[in-house]
Amino acid sequence: MDVLFCTSEAFPLIKTGGLGDVCGSLPGALHELGNDVRLVLPAYPQVIERAAKLETIASLVLSGASAPVKMLRGQFPGSEATLYLVDSAEHFRRPGNPYLQQDGSDWPDNAQRFALFARAIVALALGQADTGWIPQLVHCNDWQTGLAAPLLALEDDRPATLFTIHNLAYQGLFSRTQFQALDLPPQWWSMNGLEFHDQMSFIKGGLIFSDWTTTVSPTYAREIQTAEFGCGLEGLLKQHSARLTGILNGVDYQVWNPGRDRLIPHPYTARTLRLKQENKMALQDAFGLPVKPEVPLFGHVGRLVEQKGLDLIMELVPQLVQRRLQLVFLGTGQPQLEQDLRQAHGRHPTKFGVRIAYDEQLAHLIEAGSDAFLMPSRFEPCGLNQLYSLRYGTPPIVRRTGGLADSVVDADGPNLYARKATGFVFDDAEPAQLLRAIDRALNLYAQQRVWKDLVATAMHQDFSWTRSANAYLELYQRVLEAPRTGRDGLHRNPSPDVAEILA
């Protein structure tokens, strides 16, 4: 199958979170299954630096760009997959985070930047940028690619489109003035178009106009159809539920494998777990904590935002410091949460290790050196860190939501007895419930024989891409066969022969 895979992030070219991990590994997995899956990204400076064998294949005149936009073609690092980069200096040649300025606020022209990205995707999809190659399906990811499906829906002869929501909370919302500046069809400013509470919503464009929508876990696919998780789009998602599928993300075990991890000092497997202790001591040392391998150590890595439930942990500081444990945190994000963490470290330097930074290597050491991983997310479309934790023998403590609910088996009595348990699961985003889960972990940790069984079961879980990549392929096929969404965003359903069968 020929697929154009569109994303603003793909590890190792560029990554701000799980979107980068997934888009850096899913295309490769699909490629290995014999498909011609090609990636397209904006040509951010660090992406140009890391991409291989780049050449300019086209110069495109696109609305929204004051100069012709170059389409570069090269190879995705470490794979055979073709990579396209949309090179418009005025839009993408900016250092640092792809969405934020130095001071942490959004680039003021993000709407123009990602509208231009969508127009370049359309050129590729229609065979106008790399002549001779036309994909059968265009797979878009998250709001940054949200305008591609609407623009493609305007074409009579076009590839099928699929839109994956990695996180519904980031919608790409912009003002009406910005909508007007983008030279888009004026009729899109409506309830059945991009308008959302008097703003332009990129993600709504993807939802309405693509032929199919997926999200990154079956549970999140159900949750987003409810008011609690739907961010105001639950009605629309419910209406589209026949074309909404949840497929759990996979893990790239080339990158996240404790046995072959070059970013940790002591690679280990389920058979050489004593080496995990060595990593633990290296981790305690790296955070300036007392190097005591017998003290239970809890780790956390993540964006410091409300989603991740860090505030629940912060509320428990007085109780946590009463217990014999240590905690390490790595993250960047909301200034208040950064400050809370720094304060906890300042007050309890022998218990709280804190690093406010983005540090890929330290993230691996935390997975390897911690005894348990804290991930009390309020919502979690899929979550990757709990999957990494399982493989690193670091049982995750998670809230029963989204992909966390779909990947972690609670260490209750029956599950432990059946050797199915892999972590600790609690129901509600309440500090007391999280504390109970932490206490359950501490109790089990004190029974080292049971703990070792839990660790072994966790390490043997298989979340490699194979299963998920096959699920995507099956879905691609289904989407190719399904009727296309019309230019008005309506699904002509069912097709005549299907109608006949139904009759």
Residue of 22, 221, 295, 482 that binds ligand GLC (CB under 6 A): 22
Contact criterion met (CB below 8 Å) for 122 and 110: no
Region from 11-19, 89-97, 116-124, 192-200 binding ligand GLC, contact rule CB under 6 A: 11-19
Query: Which of 326/401 has CB closer to ligand GLC?
Result: 401
Tokens 């990154």 — which residue? 216
Task: State the sign of the Cα–Cα–Cα–Cα dihedral 26, 29, 31, 33.
Answer: negative
Contact criterion met (CB below 8 Å) for 129 and 60: yes
> Under DSSP, is residue 297 helix (H, G, I), strand (E, B) or coil?
strand
Closest CA to 165 of 249, 109, 235, 107: 249
Binding mask 231-250 for ligand GLC (x = CB under 6 A): ------------------x-
Query: Could you say which of ligand ADP, ligand GLC, none residue 479 binds, taking C-beta under 5 to 8 angstroms by partner kind?
Result: none
Beta-bridge mates of residue 60:
69
- Rounded Cα gap, residues 47 and 379, in angstroms: 30
Residue of 382, 437, 441, 469 that binds ligand GLC (CB under 6 A): 382
Residue of 70, 73, 166, 378 that binds ligand GLC (CB under 6 A): 166
Please compute Rg for the chain using Cα positions.
23
- Rounded Cα gap, residues 307 and 326, in angstroms: 23
Query: Which of 18/28 has CB closer to ligand GLC?
Result: 18
Residue of 3, 10, 19, 194 that binds ligand GLC (CB under 6 A): 19
Question: What part of residues 8-37 is at the interface with ligand ADP (CB under 6 A)?
Answer: 17-19, 21
| 342 sits near ligand ADP (criterion: CB under 6 A) | no
Query: Which of 12/293 has CB closer to ligand ADP?
Result: 12
Residue of 7, 25, 145, 167 that binds ligand GLC (CB under 6 A): 167
Region from 17-25, 174-182, 232-240, 447-455 binding ligand GLC, contact rule CB under 6 A: 17-25
To ligand ADP, the closest distance from the beta carbon of 303 in angstroms equals 5
| 284 sits near ligand GLC (criterion: CB under 6 A) | no
Query: Could you say which of ligand ADP, ligand GLC, none residue 13 binds, taking C-beta under 5 to 8 angstroms by partner kind?
Result: none
Closest CA to 287 of 371, 345, 208, 205: 345
Q: Which two tokens stand for residue 91?
A: 């839009």
Question: What part of residues 400-439 is at the interface with ligand GLC (CB under 6 A)?
Answer: 403
Query: Could you say which of ligand ADP, ligand GLC, none residue 216 binds, taking C-beta under 5 to 8 angstroms by partner kind?
Result: ligand GLC
Q: Which two tokens stand for residue 107?
A: 């680039």
Query: Could you say which of ligand GLC, ligand ADP, none residue 12 binds, taking C-beta under 5 to 8 angstroms by partner kind?
Result: none
| 17 sits near ligand GLC (criterion: CB under 6 A) | yes
Total residues at interface with ligand ADP (CB under 6 A): 18
> Under DSSP, is residue 495 helix (H, G, I), strand (E, B) or coil?
coil
Query: Which of 164/457 has CB closer to ligand GLC?
Result: 164
Query: Could you say which of ligand GLC, ligand ADP, none residue 340 binds, taking C-beta under 5 to 8 angstroms by partner kind?
Result: none
Total residues at interface with ligand GLC (CB under 6 A): 14
Cα distances (Å, whole numbers) of residue 485 to 39, 185, 189, 193: 23, 17, 18, 13
- Please report which helix (H) or strand (E) contains residue 219, including its range: helix 218-223
- Rounded Cα gap, residues 224 and 236, in angstroms: 10
DSSP readout, 38-106? EEEEE--HHHHHH-EEEEEEEEE--TT-SSPEEEEEEE-TTSS-EEEEEE-HHHH---S-SSB-TTSSB
Question: What part of residues 368-427 is at the interface with ligand ADP (CB under 6 A)?
Answer: 382-385
Question: Which chain residues interact with ligand ADP by CB under 6 A?
Answer: 17-19, 21, 301-303, 330-332, 358-360, 363, 382-385
Question: Which chain residues interact with ligand GLC by CB under 6 A?
Answer: 17-19, 22, 166-167, 216, 249, 380-384, 403
